[in-house]
A and B are shown apart, each in its own frame.
Chain A
Amino acid sequence: MKTRIKELRARYDMTQDDLARKIGVRRETILFIENGKYIPSLKLAHDIAKVLKITVDELFIFEDD
């Protein structure tokens, strides 16, 4: 599973730390999600999508899509 978090962060000129602080998680969590090493809960995915002004469905790219 891949994510568009990095791309969207760049669009909004946001660092991993900025995003992490807005959501209330550690920076490492964002790093691991971006690298596909951690699958977030639906709640966290929703929070990230909300900050990045996108839907959860558009935020993640599944391999079989």
Chain B
Amino acid sequence: MDKRMRFRAFVGILAAVIIVGVLFVEGSAFAADTENWAVVASAVILVAIALAAALVARKRLKETKSGIPSEDERSTALKMRAGYLSFFVSMYLCMALGWIFLVLLEDTTTDFPAVGELMFILVAAMGTTYLVIWTAVSRGKGTP
């Protein structure tokens, strides 16, 4: 199996896992007859991830066909640095949001989110921040 076939197989398996995951989460929610917005929002995020994965796979296949190496030394270094920066920024943002919820809203009359919802908000915020920062930093500008 050549490199391209392995990559296609990996993307196929990833897509299948994501689709099964979405069906499982949604199916469980409907079977339990719950109206939890976090479940629906999670499914939306999973679908968005699947869509993003498909777009990335399409771009990489296009590049591979045109002869551009996918594993370039500088690109790898930039992506690793982007990942490092994104992780720390998103982690601190997640901690700041948690602090706002737990400390600032604790003694107010504002509706406090349930633990599950709070976790979802924090993880969603962390994931979104990570994705945005990673995309911006890894666009190839500057020195890693």
Residues of A within 8 A of B (CB): 21, 24-26, 28-29, 32, 37-38, 40-41, 44
- Does B74 lie within 8 Å of A26, measured CB to CB? yes
Chain A residues near B74: list those with CB within 8 A: 25-26, 28-29, 32, 38, 40
Q: Which of A24, A25, A40 has the most CB of B within 10 A?
A: A25
A-B contact count (CB 8 A): 28
Closest B residue to A44 using CB positions: B73
Give 11 A-B contacts (CB < 8 Å), ordered by A residue.
A24-B69, A25-B74, A26-B69, A26-B74, A26-B75, A37-B142, A37-B143, A38-B74, A40-B73, A40-B74, A41-B73
In contact, A29 and B72 (Cβ under 8 angstroms): yes
Q: Which residues of chain B are within 8 angstroms of A21 by Cβ–Cβ distance? A: 67
Known: A25-B69, A38-B74, A40-B73. 10 other contacts (CB 8 A): A25-B73, A25-B74, A26-B75, A28-B140, A29-B72, A29-B73, A32-B74, A37-B142, A38-B144, A41-B73
Is chain A's binding surface mostly helix, strand, loop or mixed? loop
> What is the minimal beta-carbon distance from A5 to any residue of chain B, in angstroms?
14
Q: Please report B residues at the A interface, Cβ cutoff 8 Å.
A: 67-69, 72-75, 140, 142-144
Alpha-carbon separation in the docked complex, A24 to B73 (Å):
9
In the complex, what residues of B have CB within 8 A of residue A28's CB?
74, 140
Q: Which chain B residue has the least Cβ–Cβ distance from A37?
A: B143
Q: Which chain A residues border B72 with CB–CB below 8 Å?
A: 25-26, 29
Residue of A nearest to B77 (CB): A38
